[in-house]
Structure 1
Amino acid sequence: MKHSIALKIFGLAVGILVLNVAVAVLTNLEVIGLGRDVALVAKQTIPLAKEASELDECSLERRIAFQTLSDLYTALRPDNKAIEKEQRNFEESSRCFQKNLEELRKILARLPDDPEERELYAGARELAGQMETTFAAETGMAMMLLKHRREGNLEKAEELNVFDNQSEELLDTQGNKLRAITMELAEISARRAKSSEVWVLWSSAATTCFAILTGLIVAWLTSRNLARPLVQLLQTTRAVQAGDLSTHLEKLPADEIGQLGEGFNAMVGELRRKQEMQKAIGSYIDPRIVEKVILAGRKEDMAGQKRVMTILFADLVGFTTLGEQLTPGGLVNVLNRYFTLMSECVQAENGIIDKFIGDAIMAYWGPPFVGEEEEAAAACRAALRQLEALTQFRSELPDLMGLRKNLPEVKIRIGLATGEVVVGNIGSETARNYTVMGDVVNVASRMESANNVYGTRILISEETRRMADRIVQTREIDLVAVKGKSEPVQIYELISIEGELSPEWEERRRRFGEGLEAYRKQEWPASEMIFQELVEKYHDRPARAFLERVRILRQDPPGAGWDGVWRMTTK
C-alpha cells in the first residue's frame, strides 16, 4: 500500500495548515513593514516637526524678550529688575533656539532611503545652516542695538534696528520654509504609511484568497482522487447488481480503496466463473430447477409429490431421412438447431425441458415454475409457437444440410395431456433427474402418436382443453382408448389462439362436428357424405381418416350399444 487514505487526509490537513502558516507569515511581514514606516514617522518626521515648531516658539519668545528689553532701555525711569529678568529671558530663548537648531541638524543628518525625502532633507539641512548663520548675525546685531539704547545712543540704535528687522524677517522666512519642508515630509510619511496600510490590506486579502483557492483546489483534487474509485466501485456494483458480470475496475489507487477494488474484482471474477458454470450446467439442467428446487432445498419438492401438470411430447417426422443424408457431425448440428428452436418456444412460455429422446422433446408445465391455472394455456401457446418455429427451421435447412434440392420433408407431431403426476428428484444415489412420472405422461405420448392416425399436428387431452379453453380454439377429434389404458380419452385438435380462427375454419369445425355426431349414431351415409365433403373442400385429414373408417364399419357394423370409442392398437 503506497499511500493510505489516512495519510492522504493527514497530508491534506498538513497542507492546509502550512497554507495558513504561510498566510500568517506573509501578513506579519507586511505588518512589520508597515511598522517600520510608522516607526520612521515616530523617530524622524514627528521629531523633525516638533523641533521646527519649538524653534518657532523659541524665536517668538526671543523676539518678545528683545522688544521688551528695547522698550525698557528707552523708558524715563528704567526698571533694573525688569531689565534683568527680560535679559535672562532673551538669553534663555536664544539658547533654546540654538539648542533646537542643533537637534534639528542632528535629525536631518540621518538621510532617509526615499529619494524625494532625501532631497527635502538636503533642503532642510541647507536651511538649517542658513538659519544658524542668520541667527548668529541677528544675535550680534541685537546685542549691539541693546547696547546703544542702554547708552542712550538712540540714533545709532535706530540704524541698527533697521538691519535687525531685516535679519528677523530673513530668519522668519527661513523658518517658514523649514516648516513647509517638515509639513511636506509629514505628508509624504502619511501617504507612505497609508499606502503601506492599503498594501497590507490588499496583500493580506490576496494572500488569504490565494490560500483559500489553493486549499480548495488541493482539497477538491484530493477528494476527487479519493471519490473517483469509490464512484467507479459504486457504478460497477450497480452494474453487477443488474446482472452485468463483464465489468472490471481499472486504475485502482494504492490504498485501502484499491484493496477493496481488488477484492471486488476477485468477487466479480468468482461470480463470473460461477455464472459460466451455471450456464454450462443449464445446458443439462434447466436453471429454474436449480433455483426453485435444488437451491431452495424444499424437502417435499426433492422427495416427490403429486401435482397436476401438463405434459408435452413433440416428435420430428422425417428424422430417418435426415440421418441417411448427413454425416454424424452434420446430423448433430441439424438436430441441435432444431432442438434450440423448439426449446426456445417451451422456455418462452415458462415450460421445463425434461429430456430429449432421440428426435423427440418432452417438456412439462406446473408448479413451482408456472401456476396450475396457467399451465395448460402456456403449454398450448408453446405448441403453437413450435409450429411457427418449424417454418423457420425449414427455411434454414438448406444451409444446415448444404443442399438446395431433394430436401427431406420435415414435420412435427405434438401431444399434450394434463393430469396428476408424481414430480420429484428421481434416480439413483449417483445420478438423478428432476422429472415427472405417471399415466398422464403416457397419455401425452399417445396423443403425439395419434397425430399419425388422424393426420393432425397437435392433439390435446380433454383436461388440457378444459383448462385452456378460454384462450385457445380446438375441435373434438375422437374418443379413443389408447394402448395401455382401459378408459377412453377424448382428444381434441389444437387449432389456434382464441380470436384468430377464420370463418372458413369455423365452418369446417362445425361440419366436422356434425359428421362426428352422425358417425357415433352409426348414421354411416350421412357421416360419409359430410367427411367426403370436408376432404374435397378442405383436404381435411381427420375427415379422410374417418371416411376410411366409416367405409370399413359399413361393411362390418359394430352393432347396437356401440360407445363410439376407437381402440388404438399401436403406441
Structure 2
Amino acid sequence: MPLFNQSIRRKIVGIALGLIVLMVITSMLSMVMSGRVGVLLDELTNRYIPAYGNLARANVYSLERALALRRMVIARMQTPPDEETYAAQLRVYRDSEPLVERETDAARKLINEIIADESTPSDNAALGRIDARIESAVAELRRELADENAKLLKQLDASDFTATRTTLAHIETLRDLFTQRIDAIRADMLKQVFASTATVIRQQRQAIIVSAIVTILAAVVGLVFALLVSSGITRPVRLLLAGTREVEAGRFDQPISVSTQDEIGELARAFNRMIEQLRQNERIRETFGRYIDPKVVQGLIDRPEVAVDGERRVMTIMFCDMSGFTAMSEGMTPRGLVKVMNHYFTVMSTPIRKNRGVIDKYIGDAIMSYWGPPFIEEAEQAQLACLAALDMADQVPTLQQQLPDLLGIRAMPAQCDLRIGVATGEVLTGSIGSELMMSFTVMGDAVNLASRLEAANKIYGSRILVAQATAAALKDSVELREIDRIAVAGQTVAQAVFEVMGRAGQLSAQQESLRTRYAEALSAYRAGRWDEARTAFNAALELAPGDGPSRTLLARIDGLEAHPPADWDGAWRMEQK
C-alpha cells in the first residue's frame, strides 16, 4: 500500500490526525453531556438551594420578631418601665416585619421559575403545592398575627398587663403555628432539593457512562487505524529490538538485517556500526579484565582523564593476608602452591566484588582492595568493606576443608586463616608507574594504615581490625569492640583501633559479655590501674579462653609493671611494620 511506503514522519502524522479527529468527536459529545449536567446543576445551585435558604431566613426573622415583642413586654412591665429598651426593641420589631414577607416572596419567585422552566425535569405539582402553602401561611397567619400584635401594643401603652399576658400567649400560639407550617414547608422543599440533587447525580453518571463508551469506541477505532498504519514500521523495529536485546545480553556477533529504506533502515545501519565498535571494546575488557578489576576498566573507558590527572577522594582500603602461608607453602610443590593460591584468591575475591569493592592487586598471598567513589557512594563504603571482611572470614572454615581435597592429601601441613585491616581516609587515585608500564591504584596514609592494621592482627591475635575513621562511618551496621589505642609505624598520633566482631544484632550473649569485660579492663589499663586491669582481662579470658587481645594486653601489663613508662597515656606505639 502507498501509505505504508511513506516516511515514518508521514505515517506518524497520519496516525496523529486520525486520533485527533476521534478525540474531537469524543470531546464534543462530552461537552454536550456536560452542558446538560451543567444546566441541572445551575438550577440546583441558583434556584432550589436559594429557595430553601429564603424559607429558612423567613423563619429566623419571624422568631426574631417574636423575641423583640417579648422583650418589649418585659421592658414595659418593669418597675419603673425601661422605656429605652422598649423603644429599641420596637424598632427591631418594626424593621424585621417586611423581611419575612420579602424572604417568602423570594422563595415563591424561585419556585415559580423552576415550574416555568421546561428544559429541566422537576416535580411541578409538588412545587405548586409548596407555593400555595407558603402563600396560605404568610397571608392568613401573618394577617392574624399582625392584628394581635397591634392589639398587644395598645394594651402595653395602656399598661393593661393582665390583658397583655393573655394576648401574648395567643400570639405565641399563632407564632408556633406559623413556625410549624414554615418548618413543614421547608421539609418538603428539602425533599425537592434532594430530588434535584439525585437527578443531577444520575445525569452526571449517565454522562460519564456515555463518555466512557464513546471513548472506548474511539480508542478501538484509533487502535485499529494505528495498527494498520504502523504495520509497515513494526517489523524492522522488532528486528532492531531483537538486536538490542542481543547486545544487552552481551552478544555482539549478530548484526541485524536492513529491510527498509526509511529512517529505521538508517538506524539499523548505524546500529550495526555500533555493534562492531562494542565488539572491539568488549575484546579490550576481556583482555584487561583478567589483570585489572572490571570496574576500573569500565571507569577508564568512560573517563580516561582520571587515569591521566588523578583525583583525591575519601576511600576505604582493605588489606587481607593469609596467616600461616609460609609454613603451609614449605611442603608444597610449585604446581600445588599455585593451585592453592588461585583457589584462595577466587574464594576471597568473591565477597569483595559481591560487596561492590574493587580489587587493586594481589601481593604474594595478600589482597589489596578499596571502596569509594565513583564506584559506590562515600556514605556506604565503610559498611560494605566491613561486610566483605565478615563474608571473607565466614569462608575460612570451608576453605580449610577444601584445600586438602584440592591437593589430594589428608591434611594440610598448617591451617590457614585470615588477617584483615581496614582504614578510611583521603587517598590519591590515578595511574602510577613508568612510561613503559602503569597501574591504576590508590596511594596515601589510609593505604599504609590499612596495611599496618592487617599486620597488627599478629600482635593482638585478632582477625579483623578497623581504624577509628572507619568505625565512625559504620553507624551501628556491624558490632565492634575497641581493642586499643595505637600509633602504627610511620605515624605519631595514636588512634583507637576496633575489632569487627560480627554483623549488627548477631552477637551471642558470651560475645556481649566479653565486650563488656574487655571494655572495663581497657579503661583500667589506660588509667594505669594494673591490678584492676589484670583482673578484668582474666575475667574476659574466662568467657573466651582464646581471646587474643586479652592475652596480648595481659602480657603487656607485666612489662609495664616491670618497667613503668614515664609518660603513660594509654596508647601503644608500634615500631615494626
TM-score of the superposed pair, with normalisation by structure 2: 0.55
- Cα distance, 1:331–1:554 mapped onto 2, change above 3 Å: same
Structure 2 counterpart of 1:285, from 292, 297, 308: 292
Q: Is the 8 A contact 1:417 1:444 kept in 2?
A: yes
Structure 2 counterpart of 1:400, from 392, 403, 406: 406
- CA deviation vs aligned residue, 1:443-483 (integer Å, no higher than 9, x gap): 11110000000000000000000001331110110111211
- Cα distance, 1:371–1:266 mapped onto 2, change above 3 Å: closer
1-structure distance, mates of 2:329, 2:273: 47
Aligned twin of 2:502: 496
Q: Is the 8 A contact 2:481 2:500 kept in 1?
A: yes
- Cα distance, 1:501–1:248 mapped onto 2, change above 3 Å: same
Q: Is the 8 A contact 1:229 1:253 kept in 2?
A: no
Q: Which amino acid aligns with 1:519?
A: Y
Overall identity of the aligned pairs, in % = 41
Mapping 1:315-354, distance limit 5 Å: 315-354=321-360
Q: Does 1:383 align with 2:389?
A: yes
- CA deviation vs aligned residue, 1:276-308 (integer Å, no higher than 9, x gap): 431231111222223224432345x63123221
Q: Which amino acid aligns with 1:369?
A: F
Q: Does 1:566 align with 2:572?
A: yes
SS of aligned partner of 2:395? helix
2-structure distance, mates of 1:294, 1:277: 10
Q: Is the 8 A contact 2:255 2:275 kept in 1?
A: no
Q: Which amino acid aligns with 1:334?
A: V
SS of aligned partner of 2:369? strand
1-structure distance, mates of 2:456, 2:258: 69
Q: Is the 8 A contact 1:475 1:493 kept in 2?
A: yes
Deviation of 1:558 after TM superposition, in Å, equals: 2.1
Structure 1 counterpart of 2:448, from 442, 465, 489: 442
Which sections of structure 1, spanning at least 5 residues, go unmatched?
1-5, 10-222
Deviation of 1:524 after TM superposition, in Å, equals: 1.3
1-structure distance, mates of 2:426, 2:240: 49
Q: Does 1:296 align with 2:307?
A: no
SS of aligned partner of 2:330? helix
Q: Does 1:459 align with 2:440?
A: no
1-structure distance, mates of 2:401, 2:520: 38
Deviation of 1:247 after TM superposition, in Å, equals: 6.5
1-structure distance, mates of 2:254, 2:300: 32
Q: Does 1:239 align with 2:250?
A: no
Deviation of 1:240 after TM superposition, in Å, equals: 2.2
1-structure distance, mates of 2:392, 2:299: 26
Please provide the CA RMSD for this pair.
3.3
Deviation of 1:324 after TM superposition, in Å, equals: 2.0
- CA deviation vs aligned residue, 1:334-353 (integer Å, no higher than 9, x gap): 21121122222111122111
Q: Which amino acid aligns with 1:378?
A: L
Aligned twin of 2:557: 550
Deviation of 1:265 after TM superposition, in Å, equals: 7.5
Deviation of 1:258 after TM superposition, in Å, equals: 12
TM-score of the superposed pair, with normalisation by structure 1: 0.56
2-structure distance, mates of 1:326, 1:310: 35
Structure 2 counterpart of 1:471, from 457, 474, 477: 477
- Cα distance, 1:398–1:228 mapped onto 2, change above 3 Å: farther
- Cα distance, 1:280–1:393 mapped onto 2, change above 3 Å: farther
SS of aligned partner of 2:304? coil
- CA deviation vs aligned residue, 1:307-352 (integer Å, no higher than 9, x gap): 2111110001122233223222222222112112222211112211
Q: Is the 8 A contact 2:319 2:422 kept in 1?
A: yes
Structure 1 counterpart of 2:531, from 508, 525, 528: 525
SS of aligned partner of 1:325? coil
Q: Is the 8 A contact 1:232 1:249 kept in 2?
A: no
2-structure distance, mates of 1:396, 1:293: 37
- CA deviation vs aligned residue, 1:357-392 (integer Å, no higher than 9, x gap): 100011111111111111111111111111122233
Structure 1 counterpart of 2:362, from 340, 356, 365: 356
Deviation of 1:563 after TM superposition, in Å, equals: 0.3
